[in-house]
Chains A and B, each alone.
Chain A
Amino acid sequence: MDILNNIESSVGNKHLLLYIMWDLADDVSLVIVVVDVNPYFWVEKANASTGTSDIDFEQFLQHVLAFMNAILLLNHMNYLAVIATGSDSCSFLYESLAGESVSDGEGKPPSKRMNKHHTPSAKIVRGLKDFVSKELAFKTERKDNGKRYSLLSGSLSMALCYVQRILRQDPPHPHPRILCFQGSPDASQQYIAVMNAIFSAQRLMVPIDSCMVGSQHSAFLQQAAHITGGIYMKPPHPEGLFEYLMMVFATDLHSRRFLQLPRPTGVDFRASCFCHKKTIDTGFVCSVCLSIFCKHHKECSTCGASFSQNKSSFVTGQKRKLSTN
């Protein structure tokens, strides 16, 4: 009930209607898994980890692969797509539809047949290796380092495009949802892009679930779960990741209406300013287009509205609080 209430209050009745419609439908799902494979994060995590309660990348991957097998096991028609998020790029590692109609029209029969014999896990691992080597080449080319962030906005956009593609095929459609495994901290530069992705997910009625594997919370993904009606969780014992995945994230949208699931403990609603991409508590909001700035500007950089206030009124308005909810 909690989820239903949550959704009803946050996004209005349209969702509720959809949930009711699902009562007639079934649990066929399209799960798009977004995995953070940013090497900076994982190396740092490996160096920092001291106790036994933490997991390294290899263990993490094993848990996630088993979880993906579970998704495919649950329903014959379940679709799975995996997107890797690096620090500079993101790409599809695997889609369970491939080999059928979607991606390759005229694959060579022998190779296609051989391809079928590989298990999803093998394909994902191979895709991951390709991805990492590609990203490495990209990095040495670009030669900028010290970036610790992952390209979350890119992966979310790719995931949503994929959902669009599936939804434009002939019905019946699976019920899509996105699951993010995120470790790296939020990149405030991506604030606008991520929020746009979240709002399009809301429009498409795609819940964004998040499982945090890093040490800190992500304000982006908390908001994403809150707005789209997904589940946000940071497992207290990361070494038992798989059990969390099975208990919480394997739940299809149909069953979520009947099961007790973790409730949100609190959402960090802070925004980033549009001018310096800093996360701010208080700021200035353009009265025309609602752009957010950390400093007072004469003119809005987004819509061009001019703030022709005199100095005195500006001082009183300076401490206007941003919506902190």
Chain B
Amino acid sequence: MPRLRVVSRATFMDMVASLPASKLDRLYDSHWTCQAILRSLTPLAKQYVMRMLYIDAPIPNKSLQEWVLPDATVKHKVAIDKLEQLRILVDVSERKKEVTYRLNPKLQNQLRSVLKSGGGIPRDPMPSSIVARLPTATELENYAIQQWELVILQLVNSASGEGPTAPLNKFIQHIFQKAGLLTSRENETTSRITEAGFQFLLLERSSQLWQIIREYVSAAEERGLDNGELIGFLLELGFHIVGEPYNMNTLTGMQQKAVEELAILGLARVQQGMKDRWFIPTKLAASLSTNLSESSSWQPTEGFVVVETNFRVYGYTSSKLQTETLRLFVRLEYQLPNLVVGSLTKESINSAFASGINAEQIISFLQKHAHPHVAPKVPTVPETVSDQIRLWETDRNRLQLLPAYVYEDFPSMDIFQAVVAYARDIQGLLWEDASTRRVVVRGELHEDVRSFLHRQNTASSQRK
């Protein structure tokens, strides 16, 4: 699962990098996107941009290489590749002989102006006199989490087979289907959760968020929205101050639509005043730009799970989503206002395996969401428990299915033994029985064995 998480985060920038050059260049028209993209780079790449910021002349690649220590050439290459992909560095070599680079002039100008002016915020918040009543920071955070959980709960509900409690939002359903988390069959009225969907439920919230946003952006293309502009806006959103109201009229039509849809995900809250409408970015929106870089250590997750050596699981939560997520692999026994108690049983774990979750995902979920009281312990999940979960998994995998061929009716023992020896040599022997003269060989090696048998036959007939 850790691998999955990194991939899902990295690929947003990959998606940005895969935009056509013209769209990418248009992204650099706004200094907010320039800043966001700069911050998403690796430390070394950032340093290169900073160093080249006030150099107008093209720089030969050779000089760039002189900046790094001899041991770090690999890092250097990675950084340069990334910069080129994002068109931050533009290849301006005239002859084929020497590669020379210069900074994308648009980005260069935007960043220079940031250095002069010192950033600031994208748009001014509305004065408090116009805005009726703003939610407090905790209210807003609760709102964001609530919205987000509602979205994910829709996924869970389709897992449990019950009809969705709230009418499933078409827009979200579409995104889930696009991401392959829900099945999308035309004839079925209710779509079912897929294996990927189950695995998705066990991911961290930030990875979930990114996966959804990524699908959202790629879905935008189909709906006729410019995904370049959308990415620009998403990157810009992270620079707004959390909890401040911003007038909707300052946004373009497309951005307004995007804000309304993002509000469903809990990234912003839209409020209607007497005259104006405004949106308030939430913590989720701010975390969007923070998580662009791959520094995962900056993502504290609030833990709530305690696992005991007797396979008891205590979840200190009142959230429906977290309860439902636990229910995926825990047999819940009773529920108190702020606590759910259950135990890990063979049946509960097996049902999780059946829906496509593996042992490592369960264990890492329990580790990542460990309650702060047990989080410092090593290991967070008792070894007896984690080992048992793994054992249960290997239990399921006791049978291995392989395509194979059976050979029988060998004319003589010699040929039988020659075939067995040959099959063993090419590592295709699965089973042999000398008394009945039968051999089983891996299916993909059938041709080899057949030609070997032919050779044997011709050899023996010649001898006769």
Residues of A within 8 A of B (CB): 1-2, 24-28, 65-66, 69-70, 72-77, 109-110, 113, 116-117, 119-122, 172, 242-243, 246-247, 250-252, 254-255, 257-260
Contact = CB atoms under 8 A, between A and B. Distances in A.
A1 B118 contact: no
Given A73-B114, A74-B38, A76-B39, A255 B47 contact: yes
Interface in B239-286: 241, 244
17 contacts: A1-B69, A1-B71, A26-B297, A66-B115, A69-B114, A73-B39, A74-B38, A76-B238, A113-B125, A113-B128, A117-B120, A246-B51, A250-B47, A252-B43, A255-B44, A255-B47, A258-B44
Given A66-B116, A69-B114, A172-B298, A258 B76 contact: yes
B75 interface: yes
Interface in B36-51: 38-39, 43-44, 46-47, 50-51
Contact of B50 (A25, A110, A250): A250
A250 B67 CA distance: 14
B239 to A, nearest CB: 9
B35 A73 contact: yes
B53 interface: yes
Closest 9 CB pairs of A and B: A26-B295, A258-B72, A27-B43, A119-B118, A69-B118, A255-B43, A254-B43, A69-B115, A121-B118
B290 A72 contact: no
Contacts of B120: 117, 119
B298 A72 contact: no
B286 to A, nearest CB: 9
A26 B298 contact: yes
B66 interface: yes
Contacts of B35: 73
A120 B72 contact: no
Given A73-B115, A259-B68, A242 B54 contact: yes
A242 B50 CA distance: 11
B31 to A, nearest CB: 10
Nearest to B238: A76
A117 B297 contact: no
Contact of B75 (A27, A110, A122, A258): A258
B206 interface: no
A200 B80 CA distance: 38
A25 B72 contact: no
A119 B121 CA distance: 9
Nearest to A109: B128
Given A24-B297, A113-B244, A117-B121, 11 more contacts: A66-B116, A69-B116, A72-B119, A74-B38, A113-B125, A116-B121, A120-B118, A172-B300, A255-B46, A258-B44, A258-B75
B50 A28 contact: no
Interface in B159-204: none
B153 interface: no
Contacts of A72: 118-119
B111 interface: yes
A121 B121 CA distance: 14
Interface in B288-312: 289-290, 293-295, 297-298, 300
Nearest to A77: B298
Q: Which of A172, A251, A255 has the most CB of B within 10 A?
A: A255
Contacts of B75: 258
A31 to B, nearest CB: 14
Contacts of B297: 24-26, 172
A259 B47 contact: yes
Contacts of A259: 44, 47, 67-69, 72
B43 A246 contact: no
A245 B96 CA distance: 34
Given A26-B295, A258-B76, A73 B289 contact: no
A242 B51 CA distance: 11
Nearest to A254: B43
B107 to A, nearest CB: 12
B162 to A, nearest CB: 40
A29 B289 CA distance: 17
Interface in B13-68: 35, 38-39, 43-44, 46-47, 50-51, 53-54, 66-68
B68 A77 contact: no
Contacts of B116: 66, 69
B47 A251 contact: yes
Q: Which of A26, A76, A113, A250 has the most CB of B within 10 A?
A: A76
A119 B119 contact: yes
B301 to A, nearest CB: 13
B68 A260 contact: yes
A30 to B, nearest CB: 14
A254 B128 CA distance: 42
Contacts of A246: 50-51, 53-54
A77 B289 CA distance: 11
Nearest to B292: A76
Nearest to B114: A73
A246 B67 CA distance: 13
Contacts of B293: 26, 75
Given A69-B114, A117-B121, A119-B117, A74 B298 contact: no
Contacts of A66: 115-116
B69 A70 contact: no
A278 to B, nearest CB: 41
A255 to B, nearest CB: 5
Nearest to B239: A76
Contacts of B71: 1, 258
Interface string B120-137: 110011001000000000
A247 B290 CA distance: 25
B128 A74 contact: no
